Structure 1
Amino acid sequence: MPDDNLRLTEMLSVLDRLDTEASTTERGDLDLLSTAELVRQMNAQDHRVPAAVGECAEEIAVVVDGIAERFRHGGRLIYIGAGTAGRIGVLDASECPPTFGTDPSMVVGLIAGGETAIRSAVENAEDDHEAAEASLRELHLTARDTVVGISASGRTPYVVGGLTYARSIGAFTAAIASNAHSEIGAAAEIAIEVITGPEFISGSTRLKSGTAQKLVVNMLTTLSMIKLGKTYHGVMVDLLATNEKLHARSIRTVSQLAGVGVDEAAEALRAADGSVKLALLMLATNASPESAATALDAADGILRVAIATLS
């Protein structure tokens, strides 16, 4: 019992020092406000998040460049987190294949407690210091990979353990936290500490902290994919047409960027086996599918370079 009391006292002391756990007297009457006023106040709090993310622009840029460089050499991006933070990493990873045409193994999300934790809370999973290391070992983590740990508090043992292991084998590591001087920031090479302040409901870090995490991971994958040539004139050109909507978007993209009619765009896509990027290259240079594919490979998949080569 004395040991339990000591641990509880230490935990309370830690929580008292975290901005994300702080309470504010200005919101003590939330239950008395009208719904419209609640909406206005919560929205006002949310408006602070983009500015807080902007304060971390330099650190985010360093991480984007690090991820892109490792992607070019066959490395992967692996998110690790617990609860909301873990789910945000899993979400971002799952959206990369249809958006950018990447292999599912290129961006991976690991969450404390495994797949069950995506939908349901798994008790004490975030406190398992060794679990992330075990999962990273199963993925055969190498020095070519990037590991990004996400934790609003910045002290989640699951994330600290994973980053510590990743760094020990030479992987590039970064941390996304909502508190300054975080433990995960110290465990990683680069700390992205987005200070969003007390939550609208004290301690509910799925709110501003979660929004900040989503904004940052959006940047990490989107901007690294731009660096890899996954876009052209600000449009996704490596998307996978896995459903009717995406098939229509592919035709629309080719039509608009190549300046051709819908029928010609559809025909070019058929000849390119559904590849938007290849269809655009063929239309821009009148190259055969084979020649265009060779040029695209030689240009490391960057459409602008391939067009210049064949023009």
Structure 2
Amino acid sequence: MNHSELSTLATEAFRPELADIDRLPTAEIARIMNAGDRSVPGAVAGQLPRIAAAIDATADRMARGGRLVYAGAGTAGRLGVLDASECPPTFNTAPGQVVGLIAGGPTALLAAVEGAEDSRELAAADLDALSLTADDTVVGVSASGRTPYAVGAVEHARALGALTVGLACNEGSALAAAADHAIEVVVGPELLTGSTRLKAGTAQKLVLNMISTITMIRLGKTYGNLMVDVRASNEKLRARSRRIVALATGASDSEIEAALTATDGEVKPAILVLLAGVDADTATRLLAKTDGHLRAALDH
């Protein structure tokens, strides 16, 4: 992307009123930065109908066994990897069910990989390694909306019949044009000219939070606002599991311990044991019949 192209992007615009920001007191710089950050949720709010439509389409495919794949470069790629990596402990997603691809691979999480973001071919190769299907969803993430890796990922995925979402922070982006679902959260110029890890990064994080969290709610990974599919892999999470069962059932500590012991620490069947008065094996069978939806299992 050349100088003239950059100058047309809202995310790259120069704010002349901040030309002397380095001369200001630290507290004043922090105030200015905080004031600018307040515009981000409003920009996201303007895209909520598009975000919701993308989530519903994603959840439909994931219910059929599809995967959610994020693809981006630099900060955008790191945010996708972060969101994907947090799904297994939060929602007990299967390995490979939510995937984060970053241009340049894992090395790029810590250091820039020269030229990786400029390669559409690299994006296609990374997706081909996943053996993409029509039930999968690929979310291209790019602040500029022009990053070749993200645009290439969406174009390649769409050609293979997968659902595609383009998340950008500029209007009229190539990424949005390439995708089935376009989400353009326009947050305007950054405090530091072109530093899109700031407002643009915050906006992307908010939208990715929505995509993964609400998709998992639609897939029955929660019960109300409780994380009933949490994977209790350490003492903090084991304590959280006990608290979730307590909040869902109102049972005594001894009853909760007995139920969790019977279900090998699994929260959903433990809640079913306590609320439906069934044994652990029956609870597990009921959840299998309802594809893991606790409310549906309770209705049974």
**TM beyond 0.5:** yes
Which residue number corresponds to residue 133 of structure 1? 124
Inter-partner Cα distance in structure 2 for 1:114 and 1:256: 41
Query: Which of 111, 114, 117 is matched with 1:123 structurally?
Result: 114
Are positions 1:258 and 2:249 aligned together?
Answer: yes
Aligned Cα RMSD in Å?
Answer: 0.8
Counterparts of 2:275 and 2:291, CA distance in 1: 18
- 1:149 maps to 2:164: no
**Does residue 304 of the first structure (1) align with residue 295 of the second (2)?**
yes
Tell me the distance in 2 between the aligned counterparts of 1:264 and 1:35.
54
**Contact 1:252–1:262 at 8 Å: present in 2 too?**
no
| CA displacement, residues 144-175 of structure 1 (integer Å, 9 cap, x when unaligned) | 10000000000001111111110001100001
User: In the alignment, is residue 112 of structure 1 matched against residue 94 of structure 2?
Assistant: no
User: How many Å apart are 1:104 and its aligned residue?
Assistant: 2.4
AA at the equivalent of 2:60: E
Alignment partner of 1:88 is 2:79:
yes
Amino acid of the residue matched to residue 244 of structure 1?
E
Q: Which residue of 2 aligns with 1:13?
A: 4
Tell me which residue corresponds to 2:183: 192
The residue that corresponds to 1:172 in the other structure is 163
TM-score (norm 2): 0.98
Partners of 1:38 and 1:23 lie apart in 2 by 17
TM superposition shift of 1:80: 0.3
- What is residue 182 of structure 1 aligned with on the other side? 173
Unpaired stretches in structure 2, ≥5 consecutive residues: none
Distance 2:96 2:204 in 1: 21
Deviation at 1:262, TM superposition (A): 2.0
2:253 is the alignment partner of 1:278:
no
CA distance in 2, matches of 1:200, 1:112: 26
- Distance in 1 separating the partners of 2:80 and 2:253: 37
Please point out which of 278, 281, 287 is paired with 2:278. Answer: 287
TM-score norm. by structure 1 comes to 0.95
Residue 33 in 1 paired to residue 24 in 2? Answer: yes
Given residue 165 of structure 2, which amino acid in structure 1 is its aligned partner? A
SS of the aligned residue for 1:84 comes to helix
Structure 1 CA distance, aligned partners of 2:235 and 2:188?
42
The CA distance in 2 between the partners of 1:27 and 1:262, in whole Å, is 57
> Unpaired segments of 5 or more residues in structure 1?
1-9
Which residue of the other structure, out of 39, 42, 60, is the alignment partner of 1:48?
39
Aligned 8 A contact 1:153 1:182 in 2: yes
Q: CA deviation at 1:220?
A: 0.2
| Identity within the alignment, % | 55
Alignment partner for residue 215 of structure 1, among 196, 206, 209? 206
Q: Does structure 2 retain, via aligned residues, the 8 Å contact 1:94–1:104?
A: no
Q: Equivalents in 2 of 1:21, 1:115: separation in Å?
A: 27
Is the aligned partner of 1:77 residue 2:77? no
- Give the secondary structure class of the aligned counterpart of 1:147: strand
C-alpha contact (below 8 Å) 1:79/1:86 kept by paired residues = yes
Instruction: Give the letter aligned to residue 180 of structure 1.
Output: E
**What is the number of residues matched between the two proteins?**
300
CA positional deviation for 1:192: 0.4
What amino acid does structure 1 have at the position aligned with 2:46?
Answer: E
Question: After superposition, what is the alpha-carbon deviation per residue over 1:250-274, rounded to whole angstroms, capped at 9, x for unaligned?
Answer: 0111112110122221221110111
CA distance in 2, matches of 1:243, 1:293: 23
In the aligned structure 1, how far is the partner of 2:208 from the partner of 2:92?
Answer: 18
Q: Give the whole-Å Cα distance in 1 for the aligned partners of 2:237 and 2:285.
A: 26
| Equivalent-residue separation in structure 1 for 2:120 and 2:215 (angstroms) | 29
1:119 counterpart letter in structure 2: L
Q: Which runs of 4+ in 1 moved over 2 A?
A: none
- Which of 230, 239, 258 is 1:267 aligned to? 258
**Contact 1:90–1:111 (Cα < 8 Å) also in 2:** yes
CA distance in 2, matches of 1:252, 1:235: 10
Residues of 1 paired with 2:42 and 2:142: CA distance? 19
Distance, in Å, in 2 between the alignment partners of 1:251 and 1:263 is 11
| Deviation, structure 1 residue 307 | 0.8
